[in-house]
Amino acid sequence: MLNVYDWKHLKDAECLIEKPSFTKSVNFDQNFSFQCDLCESIKTFEEVTYDYGVKDNDFIEKLIQIDRPVKMNGGIEHWIRNDPNVIDVLLKEDEFASSLPCKINSNIHNNKDEDFVKVKSLISKTMIFENFFLQFQNCEKAAIRIFRNVTSRPSILPDNLSPVTISWLLWSKKYSTTRFKRIDLVEKYTVIGQIKGGIILRLLPRKNCQGICHILEGPLLENQFIVLTSLWDVEYRPFQESENLGAVLEIRG
């Protein structure tokens, strides 16, 4: 048990007292409104899906500038080029394995039981379950850096879509649910890539565009990724009959 004065989980924090300016950067201005003309005519994922190699980064940049999601077939093969067992690759790095994740959502971990749990402890719990889902955000700088080295930005992304400041791991195996899992995104741009298996992805228009723009829902399959802006909230539901592994990269821009 940690002493009440043990602040090791804050060792990578830039400031122990939250600054008002930082709060504003991650919490959307309540008075801000989106231009719903940009999304009101998009009805399906098919309208925003393209083959990698056919389009270039200039094309993606133009669409992102108008808050249009871009889904690509291909383009993240390098995530598994050295080793398809991404979890094993990550766990070989002690700074990742021993890091303390946050915003944990899972059926194999009760957040009330432990205030601080290491990544390797979470992942070890999956071995005793035939079906599970595990979602968490990397919260330590070293863990974010290691995760970024494995799941680096797709090369087709324009240069201004950087740096990756926040990352998430989405992992499940034969997990049956009808409920969608929410990802609490805070940055301006997001890349979601599917390493293995698949998910049903749901994009929900935010704020003043609710009820004007359509909810987009469809599969994100292995070696597909999607780029989107903060106009959209994100939920997903894992495929029920397979093992599914994905990465979420939040980009400040």
Instruction: Please give the average per-residue pLDDT across 13-23, as a whole number.
Output: 41
Where do the DSSP E strands lie in the chain? 49-51, 70-73, 102-106, 132-138, 164-173, 181-183, 189-196, 198-205, 216-221, 224-229, 232-238, 243-251
DSSP secondary structure letters along 55-109: B-HHHHHHHHHTT--EEEES--GGGGSS-S-HHHHHHTSHHHHT---EEEEESS-
Does residue 16 have a pLDDT over 90?
A: no
More confident residue, 28 or 155: 155
pLDDT score for 8: 45
CATH number at 31-251: 2.60.120.650
Mean predicted confidence (pLDDT) in 61-79? 97
Is residue 236 within 8 A of residue 199, CB to CB? The reply is yes
Residue range 99-117: average pLDDT? 88
179 has a pLDDT exceeding 90: yes
DSSP letter at 135 equals E
Give the residue extent of every domain in the chain: 31-251
pLDDT classification of 50: cutoffs 50, 70, 90: very high
Confidence at residue 114, expressed as pLDDT on a 0 to 100 scale? 62
pLDDT for position 9: 45
pLDDT of residue 84: 87
What is the pLDDT, as a whole number, of residue 21? 34
Residue range 66-82: average pLDDT?
94
- Interval 220-236: pLDDT, tens: 999 999 999 999 999 99
- What pLDDT shows up at residue 83? 85
